[in-house]
Structure 1
């Protein structure tokens, strides 16, 4: 049997419920609002789905066949010819000497991802604040003083260690990227967006380094990315260093330039009646045209 109802308790409960609902609505509403995008025809979605099913089946069959046809002598062959690679780590020897094409394509995929993300945002979004306006937080400053130099030194060590132990450019690049993200979030470093020419040059430096080295060794070995005897170690170490920097810049750029989901902007309707397919607001310096102007 329920007791008497307290009107003040009901009012407080109702107010708290309305407040919570309002807060939730304020957070969820930007995700539910129409951002101006338009869904494609339903028939197109079904056609794409029907094409993906057989493609997935063929891919699975191909991977199964590749696993069954693997030569069991490969590990022994790698160990036998490892001294020719100039390094003592078999993973580095395979990825940067025997199968240098694989690493070249891996870096090319990262560059393609950066280009795709940049094409979505075109460098319009401003992330953080310019350098010199860092947050005045003692804890954050202490973390930066400790973490960033440590990350840099460890990345250099991992780049060098990759020739003999499980390490290398990608591990070092990821560590440098973490330091870069920390500096960007703390507003110490200007965000390295892909709209900046130096960022594009550094990001493409990994792929460019591979191509340049591969072409340079052609007159001596007659094969692309086949290093001359005695030059394998310095060339691999140089490529590792270039890759580490390129990977770091690309990862930080992907963190900075990925478009967020902004609140709906009514000015988009005055610029393009169909709406912006990405739901982005106008650039800070852009001025909407006057609808009544000729």
Structure 2
């Protein structure tokens, strides 16, 4: 039986967008869907304040109405909800421990009691052991130019099995959507190269793009053999990773990015941060092996 998609929900516009994205995904795949709302638990052995009871009842009412609305608009959708007692990031991480994909609004506005903020979504994405999809509430409703885009690096520590979970996630998403997978790499010429006695010409740039494309093929094509219906398109773009990913996030239905484990400063990296904050597509953050 397929694991349910888990949606962190608080009633805010981003969390509603996340629920809608996840409902569409679940309808495509046949997976069940679960909305989870984290709230501070009541300490046992002490009187229950009336305000706490009221907040809990409002939460249940909000979840019930949202579940009924999703069932009405997505025929055949299996969806339920769960109240989680505790701090939102911790409870969301626990909810996805069994391997579920977690879907969050990428910039919550407080919503129900301010329980799911944008910082919560980024914190969870930076620590989760399984994929986290961050969904914006102002995505362009027009049909995107590219269905699924995979952003990949090809440094010495990138070409190997570490990125296999990221590539396979992107391939599976493209297969579900019956669309091609675009593999994008951002290449920025080094400062010293540009300052050399003879600036690099188009022939040198073409050679670099060809070399990087070959590395991307070596990484992706063996894994793609399990997805014969997914066509692959490789694109080495000139520019900083942040600028390239933000541009890709304007035109993709889903942008898939990897996350290195044990980063010292920014667990999802500055380029991914830029794509999440400034792009309009859903962004999947998938941890490396």
Instruction: Tell me the TM-score range normalised by the shorter chain.
Output: under 0.3
Q: Between Structure 1 and Structure 2, which shows a larger proportion of strand residues?
A: 2
Give 1 or 2 for the bigger CA radius of gyration.
Answer: 1
Higher relative contact order (CA 8 A, sep 6+): 1
Q: Between Structure 1 and Structure 2, which shows a larger proportion of helix residues?
A: 1
Normalized against structure 1, the TM-score is what?
0.24
